[in-house]
């Protein structure tokens, strides 16, 4: 999958509403990523690692997994 322009230098993209993190190198469903970018609720991590995403309370997204969407705090 091609990375979004705004997040072209990051591998892991978090969704503030669901607290799920997407690995852009392995994720196949571009519709989900495009919706996150269009809604402006994406978050990148520094350093760009899964460990840092988990440290902030995010869980790795898997196909078919859903969570309740909440309004982002920030």
- Tell me: the pLDDT tens digits for 9-62? 999 999 999 999 999 999 999 999 999 999 999 999 999 999 999 999 999 999
pLDDT for res 61: 93
Distance, C-alpha 68 to centroid of its chain: 15
- From the CB of residue 19, how many other CB atoms can be counted at a distance below 10 Å? 18
In sign, the C-alpha dihedral spanning 63, 71, 48, 32 is: positive
- From the CB of residue 21, how many other CB atoms can be counted at a distance below 10 Å? 24
**pLDDT at 1 > cutoff 80:** no
Three-state SS for 5?
A: helix
Let me know the angle formed at the C-alpha of 60 by 58 and 62, rounded to the nearest 5 degrees: 140
**pLDDT at 69 > cutoff 80:** no
Output the pTM of the full model.
0.86
pLDDT for res 74: 61
Domain map of the chain by residue range? 5-60
């Amino acid at each position: 999958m091609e990375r979004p322009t705004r997040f072209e230098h990051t591998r892991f993209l978090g969704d503030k509403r669901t607290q799920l993190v997407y690995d852009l190198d392995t994720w196949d469903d571009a519709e989900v990523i495009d919706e996150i970018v269009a809604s402006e609720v994406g978050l990148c991590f520094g350093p760009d690692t899964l460990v840092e995403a988990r440290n902030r309370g995010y869980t790795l997204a898997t196909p078919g997994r859903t969570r309740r969407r909440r309004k982002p705090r920030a």
